[in-house]
Structure 1
Amino acid sequence: MSSVLVAAEQVLLTGKWNENLQNDIPLFEQTRSVVNGSFRDVLISPESRNIFKLRSSVTDKDFLDRNLDEWFDFSINPQDDLASQEWLRILIGVALLHAFVQANWTGPNLDVAPLDILTIPSEYRDDVTEEYLHRKAVAELAYGGEPVYHLASLPLFLRLAQLIFDLPYQHCQSAAWWRLRAWLIHQQVLDEPVAVPAEVQLSLQSLPDSIISDPELRGRLSVEEGLLQHFLSNDKVAAELFVRAARQTQLEFELTGAPGKRTKFIERDITQLVLLAQSHLTVDDDGSQAADTSNSTEQTKNDPVIPGIPVPTASAMPETLALNDDTLLEQTQFTSSNPAASDSHLTHLDPTSQPALHPLDQCILLALCLNIKNTSPAHGLTAEQMSPYVARVVSHPRNWSVHTMALLLRSRLESNRTKTVERSALQLQALVDQMPTADSTIAERLLYIHSLPLPSKWEMEKELAMRFLSIGVVKSALEIFERLEMWEQVVSCWQSLERRDKGIAVVRDLLQGKKAEAETVISRGKANTDSRRQTLDSAREAKLWCLLGDLEPDHALEHYTHAWELSKGTSGRAMRSLGGVYFARGDYPRTIECLRKAVTINPLLSRSWFILGCAYIRLENWEGARDSFSRCVSIDDEDGESWNNLASVYLRMGEAGQKANVEEHDGKPEEASDQSQERDGDQNKIPFTNRILAFRALKQGLKFKYDNWRMWANYMVVAMDVGELLEACRALGRVVEERSAKEGAGCVDEDVLDRLVNAITRTPLMTNDPGQDSQNTPGHTSANPNVGHGLLKQVSDLLDRIILPRVSSSRIFRAKARLLTWEERWEDALNTYLDAYRSGVAGTMEKGETDIERWRQGVGEVEEIVDVLRNFGPRVDGFAWRLQARSIVRTFMARTRDFEDEPEWSRLQGLQEEVRKE
């Protein structure tokens, strides 16, 4: 590969022009125009228009029904310079892709239209209109059964860019990278994320080292690969790629604590989270721009400057709104100059005056911030972890798009706090309003756009509308949704206003042509019904029929079926809805048939796999259920219900997926967490490997369903079954904590408690447990935490700290007493046995008792406690055990004289005589 072409490809990938480039690079002026954002100059050039002219074989209007890839001849004449022609196509593809991004993401408004770049013969110009090209591109961009947002500007540009990047290239190796970037944009215009072709990611592995020789380029590639995984919800893979990007750019960062203040009237310093970070990348003079900090209350007056970065005017950055709160400070004031740990490389950084970061490193920090959100529970700690990342980026604006993303994340974090909710809404509105402005150059706005998850214009406005909806401003949200023609959200707004009929009317008007989109008026009437219907691409029209099915449950089956037929078997939404209807009706074979088609179209939606797994459970197809729930947890490993159901399936499977010989429970499969697992005899018929898999599945699921007591109950039983007694002890404690207030002593699984105590007491007190070192004594912890001394501390803590302070029963006291007996704590054991007697049948029996079976049980308890007093009493100094025994027998007999004629009464008399003689 020519070194000149490699240099040109690197310039195009980074988006920063290099003045050292020679004029001998292919298409020098066109390359500079693309880098500088002058896309019109490239797209309307004769070379470009020559590529986008109809094939010579097109002789009639039949070509209008063909796909766009059949319209144009992108092949290269072998007589031409192959490298230059390939480079021309790459330049045109990049210009098209970035023009589409400018029109829909960054602004300002674009100065080129689709018909400006196409060479259409005069006889076809009446048919090939911009509206026709828009509809055709939207229809072709629909992928995996998911439609494209129909009001996206200039979708033809994205479609043509895809076609160009999909061509074979021999000299321009960066085409694989641009193909990835096109897919990143494509994912964001679809209604739901869809898995990309495998070759998109595989082709990146063949990128030559000469292309990604620079640390910045390597870091960019890792971030962009991570963002693709982020869009596909593969959070763990995305996290690894973001961390790899930080290593490649040599970004050093550390989340630590430092004393400081966040409110104006606090009297003493409190440790606050702070992110220390330092860049090692250099910035060229013509690269990223920094902003004057005079318009940002987040800045110090002397903003650190990276050598080589000019400081432009304040208008070059999005407006950073001040908080202006009477209590909270604009930013945390730190009082320590070196909060980092002594072994850290960042001890020299002062949290109040950190150096500015390279914009790419800022992108990496924001990506890591997103990953915190994806891999952490939804509670306040997540926001506290994310805030230092955002604050570190907001404090030093260096690029328009990066700063916009940072402000957007800050707005999201502040939306749930009463002190900051006002700025959150106003900041989001300001970000929406800035898009059409020209306060910064096109080149700067596009510089890092592929390294950021920056939402499109319509997604930004949708987020603003959702913010309005969350605070009850339904009318304002409805206006935005209607303008964006997001009809599903429009219907939701009408439903929240208790006007479901209005939602139905909106959808029916759209389908019948009475209501036109894109700001046309109703006055067109029914005369345009047929033509109006033709303007709807099949994917979107099918979605409207599905929406109508949601609103009219009585006709849902009819509407969903019509949507499926209308889409010609491509609407995943229709099949998902049909599967849901059949599942609700109990028709599980049809549910499976529909959902199998739905997951074939779009396998990334975990809800479809979940319902499919539930349908398999109802039909006792355990292999199908296992595969379905396995796919659920592979898509979203935080889905606790799927982990629980997967464990339930394992406990019902034989070695080859056949049903194990266990008793079935009635109940819904989607509520498998309600079902306690089978015990002892039945469990032994389940393969041990399956029980281990069930244990691991439940353990994983409980990380995300920590408050689900049913899952803890299942986990407790399975843990006992596989020998993980320590985990069973922990699970029993969680069940008691969650259920004791409602169920009392019934929340304690006394069988499990007895087995835990038995696991301790079956080990001789003065000898080592299995697995113990020879030096171990009874006071030491066993190496095996599931028996003997290794389990003693946890079970004792379970009884003393969790169970007995909340609930008690005779059996619980006896379990505690057996444990104390094993420890040779005779006095405590004796008192606990007495507590067990007092809470048992005999101790609570009153005069007038008529239940003879209960009385006989009481007789046995009296005999038992007397034996305990005989055995333990002499071992406790000063304990009047004889008096205690006589009193127990005498009191019980006095209360139950109504049973004098029973044979057991003579036993009581004999026991009384024995005690008297002693």
Structure 2
Amino acid sequence: MTVALNIPLIEKALLTGSWPQDFQYDASVYPVLEIAQDVVNGRFRAPLTSPAARELFQLGPNVNEQPFDSLLGLCQVPEKALDEAGELLRLSLAVALLHAFLQTNWTGPDIDVKPLEILTAPPEIASSLTDAALDQKATAELAYGGEPSYHLARFPVFLRLAQLLLQQSYRFCASAAWWKLRAEITHQQLLDEPVVPPPSVFTALETLTGTYASDPDLLGRLHLETGLLHHITTQDKSAAEYFVRAARATGLEYELTGALGKRTKFQQKDLSQLVLLAESRLKIEDRSEKDAQNSTELVDTQNAAEGKISNVPETLALNDDTLLEQTQFTSSRPEGDQADSRLSHLDPSSQPALHPLDQCILLSLCLNVRNTSPSHGLTAEQMSPYVARVITHPLNWSVHTMALLLRSRLESARTRTVERATLQMQALVDQMPTADSSITERLQYLHGLPLPSKWELESELALQFLRLGVVRSALEIFERLEMWEEVVKCWGALERPDKGIAIVRDLLEGRREESENVVSRGKTEVSASRRSQLDAAREAKLWCLLGDLEPEHAAEHYQRAWTISRETSGRAMRSLGGYHFARGNFQEAITCLRRAVKINPLLGRTWFLLGCACVREEDWESARDAFSRCVSIDDEDGESWNNLASVYLRMQSTRAAGPKDDERAPNEADGDDDDEQASTQKNAKDIALSYDNATASAVPFEHKLLAFRALKHGLRFSYDNWRMWSNYMVVAMDVGELAEAARALGRLVEETVDKVGAAAVDEDVLERLVNAVTRAPANEDDAIEGGTETARSTGAVVQHNPNEGHGLLRSVTQLLEVTILPRVSSPRVFRASARLLTWQGRWADALKAHLDAYRCSTAGTMDNGETDAARWREAVSEVEEIVDVLRNFGPRVAAEQQGSTGTNWKLQARSIVRTFVGRTKAAFEDEPEWSRLTDLLDDLRKDVDEA
């Protein structure tokens, strides 16, 4: 039966990788539908070599001189003249090209079609044209934002052609914008560093959200893939928001909770273990029907019915003598089970299978845990339940591969699991060329996964070898992948840096073949001509690498890289900027770094270095802008938050700008491997400015407030940085956030008291905090900050101001009693504590604090043989002061202590004076102030006698 051309239905089939079983068509009426079905089912050769495709992919005669978009005949038909079938043909071919590229470089096995079988070349150049030449041209065109494209990617011409097809205008096929997003994600993974995507990629997706709002599957995929692009380009918080939207769209419910269980074989007592409870709302596809439809794989029917399949990557066993293969939960209910929890009915040890799309979402949420948490053990513990929940029910080859890879990454840092992690990663590398699962299955959910390419996966394995000390094996992999920076590092680890220099020079001078596959890939040129074939971006990168290896000629090499790249190499300018910064040439560094961030503004380290250089030149507004970009790229960069705050405190202008808490677009750290810049950034961290009272008076209040917010946010990620706590404390005092100042002083004492002792306490700040409390009336009902008369008379709850009076009392009391006094003995600290206790009416405690202050003071520590008259006079005043305190507090303490005779304080005062007189009589008896002591002692004797 012939049906109309249902564009939305075909688009959904292309997007989901599943052809509708009940859809029938007449191929003679709509030949494009047969092409679309082949593409969906992973048969790319027939569509790409069809007459319709070859008509589109016709090369012009000037292949070597012109880019692909000028050579191909894509624009021969006016865009408005294309009907629905014409647009669907272009979209289907773009999908086929993109998936062919992904199959070759991501999922395997090898593709059965080559570029020359797709492209039609004029007779005069057809005999001389090779696949290698086309791939080389495509690789050069795929370089973007100053970042080179990986030169050993197979058949990059497929990706380039897909990009060109998707750049055309589409009036009938709305999903073309979505496929442009997928092509952009693939392209980003080819580049050395992520770059800013074209704005059109995101703007075109906004309309799709409404288009697919009624389809949970498509809407979930759209949000997930949008989040993955944000993840790749280091926009972590935006990525997290999209991952959560994807979960809401599909109806996925998940909860990270605890349940009793065991993790080791010898564990006797059940302990609370983290577990992820999750349940899908999407219907899980019957795999046996799907496999029968594709007829490309055999699946055990019983396994399919149980939600498991046999054609997934092998899951290696741990085989440890202590750890269990997986956590054994002994409770069928999660801990803290509450009636309002939607997942309380799930048994942690026997949860139902999840839809593969929901598994993709969980793995992405797991990535977000890594990106938005500090790098410590808790992060691995948080991520493991996500991965374990997916591994338990393997339903798709690509999803299971990603889950195993994430588990390997988590286990690579633990002694008991590092062996399995390495072997599992090796198994994942080895499985790529196999045909143990269908092409359709491998590609179906690939766009919703951050699955690395073949070379990235092998590189990750090599890095794991390097961490284990197996340098030679890592070196072999890096040389095969032609990742020359890593090769140089391996030779450095082997204490042969000269070998690294020789390799880079051989590559630049054409004495070294770049690949072991030269002959097999049709590259028959002699090695002497290799240099001319290096595209500009790759050659510039090699010159930068040589500059890193030869510091004495670094500037020359970096400048040459900049020239060779036609002023497009961000790496060259980053390296040259770092070179100038390290040598104190800050103005030159600023010029270079500004060029670098203009080319690629996603690298936070470059912005950080630019900000530091601007600080050195006292260009505060530029420094503010640079550090603002740093924290918008990496929200967890505590050092940049600190420097941003310091810059605000140096700005005299009232024109304040910068990221507020609700304006940031935070991201991930950059991956620049420039050794020169890495060392200069380390030095740059020393420029963090301190804040003092001399500076404070000239700073506008709005700048102080911005600095306070920046420091408060940055301290979440630099909790152990005592300098930041010191700045935060003083700024908090200036803006009136006294409760935060008390907290900061406490942290400052905890971090520094072991090194500097009593100097860890800023006594001026402590006394100001005590003053802020004691200014209020001691009676809470009389305190103005305690609330209005109406509130007090009606019995309403009184809301205290946390920065003064009774609202601040708890913070200051805890600061003194819990943090400072157990660690520090200082007269001013004890006196500040005594004032607070006096205000509270705690007379005995206040008296004890005054006595403690006296024992630490000059008078209390003065020994026999002291000859400094100035110190002695100071001590005399302290003796008189403590006697006055005893006279004032003694009777009140005696009244509190029933049965006391009231003479103890008098005896104590007399004893203090007598002791001091006895210690200092020999040296200071002739001093004029000596009579003050004798008179005081006589008065105390009379008081005791009268009592």
Sort the Cα spacing of 1:885 and 1:256 in 2 relative to 1 into closer, same or farther, 3 A: same
Which residue number in structure 2 is paired with residue 323 of structure 1? 318
Describe the SS at the equivalent of 1:172: coil
How far did residue 290 of structure 1 move? 9.7
1:678 corresponds to which of 667, 692, 695: 692
2:554 corresponds to which of 547, 553, 556: 556
- The amino acid that maps onto 1:858 is A
- The amino acid that maps onto 2:497 is R
1:734-773 CA deviation, whole Å, 9 max, x = no partner? 1111111111111111111111111111111014434323
CA distance in 1 between counterparts of 2:137 and 2:92 reads 24
Structure 2 matches for 1:14-33, cutoff 5 A? 14-24=16-26, 27-33=32-38
Structure 2 matches for 1:569-580, cutoff 5 A? 569-580=567-578
1:607 corresponds to which of 601, 605, 608: 605
- The amino acid that maps onto 2:560 is H
Structure 2 matches for 1:819-830, cutoff 5 A? 819-830=836-847
Sort the Cα spacing of 1:539 and 1:908 in 2 relative to 1 into closer, same or farther, 3 A: same
1:266-324 CA deviation, whole Å, 9 max, x = no partner? 22221111111111112444699799xxxxxxxxx997947xx7x65x2x111011112
Sort the Cα spacing of 1:81 and 1:900 in 2 relative to 1 into closer, same or farther, 3 A: closer
1:629-680 CA deviation, whole Å, 9 max, x = no partner? 0000000000000000000011111234599xxxxxxx9993367643112x
- The amino acid that maps onto 1:590 is E
Contact 2:643-2:689 within 8 A present in 1 as well: no
How far did residue 811 of structure 1 move? 1.1
CA distance in 1 between counterparts of 2:783 and 2:560 reads 69
2:544 is aligned with 1:546? yes
How far did residue 2 of structure 1 move? 7.7
- The amino acid that maps onto 1:696 is R
1:390 corresponds to which of 370, 387, 392: 387
Contact 1:303-1:396 within 8 A present in 2 as well: no
How far did residue 821 of structure 1 move? 0.9
Describe the SS at the equivalent of 1:207: helix
Which residue number in structure 2 is paired with residue 663 of structure 1? none
Contact 1:614-1:669 within 8 A present in 2 as well: no
Which residue number in structure 1 is paired with residue 938 of structure 2? 913
- The amino acid that maps onto 2:940 is V
- The Cα RMSD (Å) is 2.5
Which residue number in structure 2 is paired with residue 696 of structure 1? 709
CA distance in 2 between counterparts of 1:129 and 1:715 reads 64
CA distance in 1 between counterparts of 2:684 and 2:884 reads 51
Contact 2:512-2:527 within 8 A present in 1 as well: no
Contact 1:513-1:528 within 8 A present in 2 as well: no
Describe the SS at the equivalent of 2:325: strand
1:545-603 CA deviation, whole Å, 9 max, x = no partner? 10111111111100000000010000000000011011111111111111111000000
CA distance in 1 between counterparts of 2:432 and 2:153 reads 15
Unaligned runs of 5+ in 2: 293-300, 520-524, 658-680, 895-899
CA distance in 2 between counterparts of 1:131 and 1:828 reads 87
How far did residue 446 of structure 1 move? 0.2
Describe the SS at the equivalent of 2:313: coil
2:860 is aligned with 1:843? yes
Contact 1:673-1:711 within 8 A present in 2 as well: no
Sort the Cα spacing of 1:895 and 1:759 in 2 relative to 1 into closer, same or farther, 3 A: same
2:53 is aligned with 1:39? no
Contact 1:333-1:352 within 8 A present in 2 as well: yes
Describe the SS at the equivalent of 1:261: strand
Contact 1:278-1:357 within 8 A present in 2 as well: yes
1:485 corresponds to which of 478, 482, 485: 482
1:372-391 CA deviation, whole Å, 9 max, x = no partner? 11111111111111111111
Identity of aligned residues (%): 62
Contact 1:97-1:158 within 8 A present in 2 as well: yes
CA distance in 1 between counterparts of 2:486 and 2:64 reads 34
Which residue number in structure 2 is paired with residue 722 of structure 1? 735
Which residue number in structure 2 is paired with residue 831 of structure 1? 848
Which residue number in structure 2 is paired with residue 11 of structure 1? 13
1:784-829 CA deviation, whole Å, 9 max, x = no partner? 1111222222212211211121121111111111111111111111
CA distance in 2 between counterparts of 1:851 and 1:3 reads 104
How far did residue 211 of structure 1 move? 5.4
Sort the Cα spacing of 1:569 and 1:807 in 2 relative to 1 into closer, same or farther, 3 A: same
Sort the Cα spacing of 1:402 and 1:529 in 2 relative to 1 into closer, same or farther, 3 A: closer
CA distance in 1 between counterparts of 2:626 and 2:12 reads 44
How far did residue 473 of structure 1 move? 1.1
Which residue number in structure 1 is paired with residue 926 of structure 2? 901
Contact 2:45-2:112 within 8 A present in 1 as well: yes
Structure 2 matches for 1:517-916, cutoff 5 A? 517-519=514-516, 531-656=529-654, 670-671=684-685, 675-679=689-693, 682-767=695-780, 768-773=782-787, 783-877=800-894, 878=900, 880-897=904-921, 898-916=923-941
Contact 1:366-1:390 within 8 A present in 2 as well: yes
User: TM-score, length-normalised on structure 2?
Assistant: 0.90
Which residue number in structure 2 is paired with residue 276 of structure 1? 277
How far did residue 335 of structure 1 move? 2.1
1:424-483 CA deviation, whole Å, 9 max, x = no partner? 111111000000000000010000000000000000001101111111111111111111
CA distance in 2 between counterparts of 1:395 and 1:104 reads 27
1:410 corresponds to which of 407, 416, 420: 407
Contact 1:650-1:690 within 8 A present in 2 as well: yes
2:55 is aligned with 1:50? yes
Contact 1:599-1:605 within 8 A present in 2 as well: yes
CA distance in 1 between counterparts of 2:171 and 2:136 reads 33
Sort the Cα spacing of 1:212 and 1:753 in 2 relative to 1 into closer, same or farther, 3 A: closer
CA distance in 1 between counterparts of 2:748 and 2:729 reads 9
Contact 1:162-1:182 within 8 A present in 2 as well: yes
Which residue number in structure 1 is paired with residue 661 of structure 2? none
- The amino acid that maps onto 1:386 is M
2:458 corresponds to which of 457, 461, 485: 461
Describe the SS at the equivalent of 1:156: helix
Greater shift, 350-359 or 642-651, is seen at: 350-359
1:332-357 CA deviation, whole Å, 9 max, x = no partner? 22222232532112222222221111
Describe the SS at the equivalent of 1:256: strand
- The amino acid that maps onto 2:56 is I
How far did residue 521 of structure 1 move? 9.0
Sort the Cα spacing of 1:225 and 1:915 in 2 relative to 1 into closer, same or farther, 3 A: same
CA distance in 2 between counterparts of 1:288 and 1:842 reads 93
Describe the SS at the equivalent of 2:59: coil
- The amino acid that maps onto 1:42 is P
Sort the Cα spacing of 1:672 and 1:551 in 2 relative to 1 into closer, same or farther, 3 A: closer
Contact 2:654-2:700 within 8 A present in 1 as well: no
CA distance in 2 between counterparts of 1:290 and 1:910 reads 107
How far did residue 207 of structure 1 move? 2.8
CA distance in 1 between counterparts of 2:909 and 2:31 reads 106
Sort the Cα spacing of 1:668 and 1:636 in 2 relative to 1 into closer, same or farther, 3 A: closer
- The amino acid that maps onto 2:712 is K
Contact 1:673-1:714 within 8 A present in 2 as well: no
Contact 2:315-2:424 within 8 A present in 1 as well: yes
Describe the SS at the equivalent of 2:755: helix
Unaligned runs of 5+ in 1: 292-300, 660-666
Which residue number in structure 2 is paired with residue 437 of structure 1? 434
Describe the SS at the equivalent of 2:328: strand
How far did residue 721 of structure 1 move? 1.0
How far did residue 903 of structure 1 move? 2.8
- The amino acid that maps onto 1:802 is T
How far did residue 400 of structure 1 move? 0.3
Sort the Cα spacing of 1:820 and 1:304 in 2 relative to 1 into closer, same or farther, 3 A: farther
